[in-house]
Amino acid sequence: MERHRRVTAEPSPNDMLPSPRNLQTGPGAGLAPAAGLVPEISGCWSPRLAAALERFFVMMPGRRMSAVDSARVPLHIDCAALGGAVPQLGADENYRIEISAVGVRLSAAEEWGVLHGLTTLFHLLVRGGVVPAMRIDDGPRFSWRGLMIDVARHFMPVSALTRTVDAMALFKLNVLHLHLTDDQGFRFPSWSFPRLAQDPCYTREELEMLVAYAGQRGIRVLPELDVPGHTCSWLQAYPGWGSADPQPTRRFGVHRECLDPSNPEILPAIETLLGELAEVFPDEFVHFGGDEVHPEWWTASERVRAYMDDHGLADVDELHAEFNRRVTAMALDLGKRVIGWDEVLHPRLPPSVVVQSWRGATARNRALDTGHDCVVSANYYLDLCFPADVHYRFDPEAPESELVHLEDTLGQDPRLAHVAAGMAWTRQWRDVTVAQKSAEPETARGSVIGAEACLWSELVDAETLDVRLWTRLPALAERFWSPSARRNEDDLYRRLNVSLEALKVGADMDLFAISRRLLRRAGLQVAWDPLAAVLEPVKWYGRLLGEEAMAARIAGREMPQSRPYDADTPLNRVVDGLFPESLAARQIARLCERTAAADPTAAARLRAQAETWRGLPGNGAGPAELDELARRLKLLGTLVIDVLDGRVAPESAVPAVLAAGQPHGEYLLAVADPVSRWLASRQGPAGARGDV
Ligand code: ACM
């Protein structure tokens, strides 16, 4: 029987996400729960460190002053060198912590390490109890540990971004990538082209404040100007910048509109915009997008075709590559390096350009093999509402064969089976080829310099941002920071739960309370809370595409443009307030496994859970779209109890339970699959049945 691992009351060094590179406990006694920490500084000191120390004590007021004088111990901080005005790629983020009964010593080569060390100390102390004597030697696996937020489809006010930065710091993420422009919105307040900015839009002061706020916490802010596709919003302001008549758009999906590289105004305008971005964002990098450029406008335009002839550009790929080459040169002139989505790969792409891989398991090696450094985002899209462990399995540096295998088997995961056919559609991305540069056959292979989780915001707004991000992102933060060794999935979820507690204190973010508020706003009454706790949104692009477009995509047909959502659809339904992955369902899955393994305590708890489900109101405790799901969960409750009591044979319950697990509208009942697996384990001769 698998032993149930409880979340221990005592803080354990193994609770942390991300886990440190090297942690050794002992010898001797640890830090007493009441020990007050008295800062002692040696080496360098700065306002940034003073502010970080102040935040640490605000999070842990009980440590600032001990109630018992004799319990005071030093918190010795030794910082060998200050960092620059803002963090840079490759900065030294290593630190060491030594903890004993007589105090804490935190040392680091640079300020950034001290910031991380204070965060680690927070995680160790926040749960109370004795902190064992230990020594931690820690530092990141990757220097680029990012989070991309699409602030174009749904605007995220600066207050949403600063609280995101607080949470990022807690999990040692260090790049906030802002996707500032897209078809539905342009959120950068250009002063040379003021018509571009669409309401709502950031002010320059807000963005400067955000950069400073993030820099104080060791986080870079990377701006993205997505060109030449995804630019409908630009063309509303400057229709002449395209090669055909732009249409106003609120719909999602790839648009035909794109900038016209043959227009002599375009590159100077981009140069001006890059210059403005450089004034606001001091980061060494600028992101120039480059994804999903629809070829139709270019191939249909006589002017563009003439331009291609004049410049010896054989096709639209060459035209895009030439455009990228020129934008890159302009950025370099401004002292910036460039990063773009993996569609920018082309033999003409300057080698200095970093490629952000997103189109599946093979995009990374296409970049590396052609000499480009890579930031990996494939399989790290949080808007797909995948479970945390699914993202966690994909290591940014895993051999390609492993990534391909993981991707190929995603559809066998029962939690994702309902979108297996849709996900299989993405395998066509494996057929993308990039010619080798003929002039430089022995180009040095690129490196994986980091990874970024991405949150595209078609179905996320500022209200729903936190629950969409943080129930899974701490797991990815570990993937990006910690050594590659796998940790088991139960252990991951145990630590994820601990992390959500830390998030409450460290970033004032109580995801359970936020979700509850959103559910109430959507009309869900308390009586249906047990239902909402085990519901999840359908996965992948199920919600965004809707049934019709999904069927067309699976069949390889042109997708209809009509979709369930556009940029004006309110995101205020129950589905918007749910955790993308039900942590309650995960715990019930463990109960089912332990019940199957003849654990009587688990069986009793499963029964109690099933009683709750059976007793739910069948309808009327929330929106009518949930009536069917309530009916299914009540049925599940009844079946579980009947099977436990021996009134119903497990095998005869299986079909109804499997049917309950089918998507209903945009919802999934996340407990149907674990219950069906428990029932399946009970089939066979009575003597072979494990459970009680
Ligand atoms: C992307 O997801 N279009 C980069």
Give the closest residue to 221 by CA, choosing from 202, 208, 231, 230: 208
Give the closest residue to 514 by CA, choosing from 582, 469, 467: 467
Residue 637's pLDDT is 98
* Superfamily of segment(s) 22-138: Chitobiase/beta-hexosaminidase domain 2-like (3.30.379.10)
The arithmetic mean of pLDDT across residues 239-254, rounded, is 93
The structure tokens listed for 36 are: 């007050």
The arithmetic mean of pLDDT across residues 313-340, rounded, is 97
Cα of 599 vs centre of ligand 1, distance in Å, is 46
348, pLDDT greater than 70: yes
Residue 436's pLDDT is 63
Percent of the chain beyond pLDDT 70? 95
Residue 691's pLDDT is 46
The arithmetic mean of pLDDT across residues 128-146, rounded, is 96
Going by their DSSP bridges, the two strands 354-357 and 103-110 should be labelled as unpaired
The arithmetic mean of pLDDT across residues 478-500, rounded, is 91
Minimum CA distance residue for ligand 1 atom 2 = 358
Question: Pocket of ligand 1, candidates 180, 358, 432: which has the most ligand atoms within 8 Å of its Cβ, to mutate?
Answer: 358
422, pLDDT greater than 70: yes
Residue 627 near ligand 1, beta carbon < 6 Å: no
In the chain, how many H helices and how many E strands? 26, 18
pLDDT tens-digit series, residues 510-531: 999 999 999 999 999 999 999 9
CB-based contacts of 128, cutoff 8 Å, min separation 6: 11, 33
Residue 358 near ligand 1, beta carbon < 6 Å: yes
Backbone angles phi, psi at 25, to 5 degrees: -90, 160
Q: Compute the distance between CA of residue 259 and CA of residue 241 in angstroms, rounded to an integer.
A: 6
Minimum CA distance residue for ligand 1 atom 3 = 291
Residue 301's pLDDT is 95
Residue 692's pLDDT is 43
Residue 488's pLDDT is 84
- The structural domains of the chain, with segments of one domain joined by +, span 22-138, 512-689
557, pLDDT greater than 70: yes
381 strand-pairing partners: 454
pLDDT band at 442 (very low <50, low <70, confident <90, very high): low
Residue type at 24 in one-letter notation: Q
Residue 553's pLDDT is 84
66, pLDDT greater than 80: no
Cα of 211 vs centre of ligand 1, distance in Å, is 24
Residue 286's pLDDT is 98
Q: Compute the distance between CA of residue 313 and CA of residue 322 in angstroms, rounded to an integer.
A: 8
Residue 682's pLDDT is 84
Cα of 290 vs centre of ligand 1, distance in Å, is 9
pLDDT tens-digit series, residues 525-549: 999 999 999 999 999 999 999 988 8
Q: How far is CA 528 from CA 224, 435, 615, 626, in A?
A: 42, 56, 10, 9
Residue 11's pLDDT is 56
Cα of 358 vs centre of ligand 1, distance in Å, is 7
Cα of 54 vs centre of ligand 1, distance in Å, is 39
Residue 684's pLDDT is 57
295, pLDDT greater than 60: yes
pLDDT tens-digit series, residues 609-654: 999 999 999 999 999 999 999 999 999 999 999 999 999 999 999 9
The structure tokens listed for 649 are: 């044979």
Give the closest residue to 363 by CA, choosing from 384, 342, 391, 335: 342
Residue 155's pLDDT is 98
* DSSP-based three-state secondary structure for 32: coil
Percent of the chain beyond pLDDT 90? 88
Residue 291 near ligand 1, beta carbon < 6 Å: yes
Cα of 124 vs centre of ligand 1, distance in Å, is 37
Q: Compute the distance between CA of residue 179 and CA of residue 383 in angstroms, rounded to an integer.
A: 14
Residues 358/379, Cβ–Cβ less than 8 Å: no
Q: Compute the distance between CA of residue 358 and CA of residue 382 in angstroms, rounded to an integer.
A: 12
What mean pLDDT, rounded, does the chain reach?
93
- Looking at per-residue pLDDT, the higher value among 387 and 247 belongs to 387
Residue 85's pLDDT is 92
CA 255 to chain centre: 25
258 DSSP assignment: -
Cα of 363 vs centre of ligand 1, distance in Å, is 12
565, pLDDT greater than 50: yes
Residue 561's pLDDT is 81
Question: Locate tokens 């490196």: which residue?
Answer: 447
pLDDT band at 207 (very low <50, low <70, confident <90, very high): very high
Give the closest residue to 214 by CA, choosing from 169, 246, 149, 255: 169
Burial bucket for residue 625 (CB in 10 Å: 0-12, 13-18, 19+): middle
Backbone angles phi, psi at 124, to 5 degrees: -70, -35
Residue 688's pLDDT is 42
Q: Compute the distance between CA of residue 553 and CA of residue 138 in angstroms, rounded to an integer.
A: 45
20 DSSP assignment: P
Residue 234 near ligand 1, beta carbon < 6 Å: no
